[in-house]
Structure 1
């Protein structure tokens, strides 16, 4: 969460006018982040962002009034977490017997240039 100062980014269309803002968008997409603010936070621009790596993790995003001398709106939100029950078991993957050499070999056989041709980060998922 923070003030990222990219007023030219259109988050709905995932587009920007300036090169620096396009690079920022590319970084957000390459790291599979989602931006959850939907309203302007300062003078009609969406400068303050809340980025998350998991859909549904951040909820109840609300913009409040300003604080002190700031001309940015305050952002209030909740970060959700799964409730743990006393009898629940946490499931994890066990990679101790994984053949990473075979995995690397199989991935190396994929013609990635052709498979991902003309695709951005989001389309390549």
Structure 2
């Protein structure tokens, strides 16, 4: 799965009968990485996200990303956020992992697949926190108030047809009236 431009390792953990395989990826992104390598990573993430279960651990070096607000300060960081969103990935670490910034990530495509995530202090002279987690063989069903839509099953033809029927000139007039 690897492309020469990225510093990544991908492992497939074979599942027993009745359980699917789990894809685990580990990735390091240097702070000065070129756009081509970022694009290469997004292609790799896209391919891996189609698996039944994916856990991706990364040192991304995008200090300007605000995960709470899903915003970024530069084009490369915004592109990475779009890649995460386009592949329906969830970030499971909730606290800063390096000097007040969220630079180390654990992303998954299935809620409940990565559990018991703990920051364990730095290792040696590193300024990064060690991240300990368990990859659960079968993702546990987690009660969540968050609704995740599965756009892979969407009927975009019907959606386009319905949008085509909206009288946009009247819709824009109504919006302008509300704003004034």
TM category, shorter: 0.5 to 0.7
1:4 corresponding residue in structure 2? 60
C-alpha separation between the residues in 2 aligned to 1:8 and 1:69? 24
Three-state SS of the structure 2 residue aligned to 1:21 is helix
Query: Where do 5+ consecutive residues of structure 2 fail to align?
Result: 1-56, 140-154, 165-180
TM-score, length-scaled by structure 2: 0.47
1:45 corresponding residue in structure 2? 101
1:110 corresponding residue in structure 2? 158
TM-score, length-scaled by structure 1: 0.66
Among 98, 118, 124, the residue aligned to 1:62: 118
C-alpha separation between the residues in 2 aligned to 1:23 and 1:108? 23
C-alpha separation between the residues in 1 aligned to 2:104 and 2:157? 43
1:76 corresponding residue in structure 2? 132
Among 77, 89, 106, the residue aligned to 1:21: 77
Structure 1 residues 108, 64: CA separation in 2 closer, same or farther (over 3 Å shift)?
closer
C-alpha separation between the residues in 1 aligned to 2:62 and 2:103? 6
CA RMSD of aligned residues (A): 2.1
Higher relative contact order (CA 8 A, sep 6+): 1
Structure 1 residues 22, 110: CA separation in 2 closer, same or farther (over 3 Å shift)?
same
Among 26, 36, 57, the residue aligned to 2:92: 36
Task: Give 1:108 shift.
Answer: 7.5
